[in-house]
Amino acid sequence: MPINVTMPALSPTMEEGTLAKWLVKEGDKVSPGDVIAEIETDKATMEVEAVDEGTVAKIMVPAGTEGVKVNATIAVLTADGESADAGAIAADPKADAAVTVSQDEVKSEPATATLTTAQAPAQESAEAPARGPAQASAPKGDRVFASPLARRIARELGVELAGVTGSGPQGRIVKSDVEAAAKGGGAKAESAAPAAATPQAAAAAPAASAPAKGASDDAVRKLFAQGSFEEIPHDGMRKTIARRLVESKQTVPHFYLSVDCQIDALLALRKQLNEAAPMVRTDAGDKPAYKLSVNDMIIKAMACALKAVPDANVSWTESAMLKHRNADVGVAVSIEGGLITPIVRRADEKTLSVISNEMKDLARRARSRKLKPEEYQGGTTAVSNLGMFGIRDFSAVINPPHATILAVGAGEERAVVRKGEITIANVMTVTLSTDHRAVDGALGAELLSAFRQYIENPMGMLV
C-alpha cells in the first residue's frame, strides 16, 4: 500500500514551511534514516529523514515551494512492485491522521527531523470520526510514532495508538507492540465523539487571541504616490515575528521597571579575566581560550538573579503558574531578515568562559540558520542588548511563555554622586519588562535589584 510522506512540524508553533530542496528524485530507493529533503522554517533550515523504506514514486511538492502546511502530503513511497495510484494519494493534508514530528524527534549535526508518514488512501483517515476502528489514529497534534503496518493493524484490531508504548527505534510503535496491546486488552479505541472534540477545542484557542485588523493593504498603498515605493513580500520569519509580537502586546499586560547600574567593577573584572585567559592551539594558530564580553556577564547576572528570586522565574498559564527550576536565558541575536533568541541553558551553573564560548557558537549558527529547535525554543527569560548601537535605554516586548525580558542599554560615562561628591562613573541603564499576571511590581523590583547587585559586585558571580 502506498505511503504518504507528510510535511513535519519541526516545532510546536510551526504551521507551515518552505520545502527548500529535494535530495532524492522519483524512482530513488530510500531507507529509514536517509536524508531526503531540506525544509526552511521561520528560524532555521533543517534536514529531514525518511521513516519508512520504499521507492519515491511521486514527489507532490516541488523544491522551492513556500507555505507548505504541516501534515500536507509532499511525496509518496511505494514498496517493491507497487505502483502509486494517483487516486490513492492524499491531496488534502487535513485528511491525513498521521501526527506531526515533535521537538524531541529532531536530530542534530546537522539539524535533522524525521518525516511523518501515513498509509494511503487518505479517505480512510478522513472518515475516521465516523467509524470506530479508524479511531486508532491519535487526534491531530498528539505525538504518535508508528510504522504504516502498525497503523493498519491498529485500525483492524481497534487499538488506540496513543496508549501503546513503542519498542522500535526512537520509541516507534511496530506490529508486535500493537498485537501485544490487543492481547492485553488495553489501549482500545474510544468513541468518536471525544476525538472529534479535540480539533474543535484546538481551533477555538487561537480565535480568542486573534489580532485586531488594521488598515487594508490597498488602503496603505493609496497613501503613497504610485512608483514611490518598492514592495518586498514578507517571508516566513517576518510573518512569525509580527504575529507573535502582536499577540504578546495584546494578551500580555506589560509592566516596566528601569534601573541604572554602575559597571566600573564589572569592566575591571572583565579586563582582568580576559588578560588571564590561557592560550590554546587551533588550526588558525594560538588564541585565548575565551574572550568575555559585557553581554556574557549580563547573561550570568540575570541567571543568578532569577535563582536568587525564584518567584520571578515563572511562566503564566490560565490554570497554573509554572515555576521553573532552571535559569535558562534567551539572548536576542539579530540575523538577516529578523532576529532569533538562542538559549543558554542553566546559565547560573556555567562559568563565564563557558557562557562566552557557547554564545559565540550559538550566534554563529543562528546567523547561518543552523540552530536546532531545542536551542531556541523555551527558556525562562530573555536579554536584548542594543548598547552596541549607542542606545541609552529602551523597553523590550516579552516573548511568551517568558514572564520577563531585560532590555540593556549602552554603558557610558555619567556624573554620579558618591558620598556627597560628584564623580564620573560608567553607567548602564536596564529596563525589565514583566508579565504583570505573573510578576507583580514589587517582585519585579526585587529581581532587578538582585541583578544590579551582581552587576555592581561581579565577584559574586564567580563564587
Residues with a known catalytic role? 436
Q: What is the spatial distance between Cα 166 and Cα 187, in angstroms, rounded to a whole number?
A: 13
The answer to whether the CB of 428 falls within 8 A of the CB of 260 is: yes
Residues 6+ apart with CB under 8 A from 398: 248, 252, 254, 404, 405, 433, 434, 435
Residues 6+ apart with CB under 8 A from 400: 244, 247, 248, 251, 252, 315, 316, 435
Q: What is the spatial distance between Cα 352 and Cα 460, in angstroms, rounded to a whole number?
A: 12
Amino acid 71 reads N
Matching residue, cell 538573579: 305
HSE-up of residue 232 (Cα within 13 Å, Cβ side): 6
Q: Which of 65, 12, 70, 6 is nearest to 36 (CA)?
A: 6
Q: What is the spatial distance between Cα 333 and Cα 369, in angstroms, rounded to a whole number?
A: 11
Q: What is the spatial distance between Cα 331 and Cα 339, in angstroms, rounded to a whole number?
A: 10
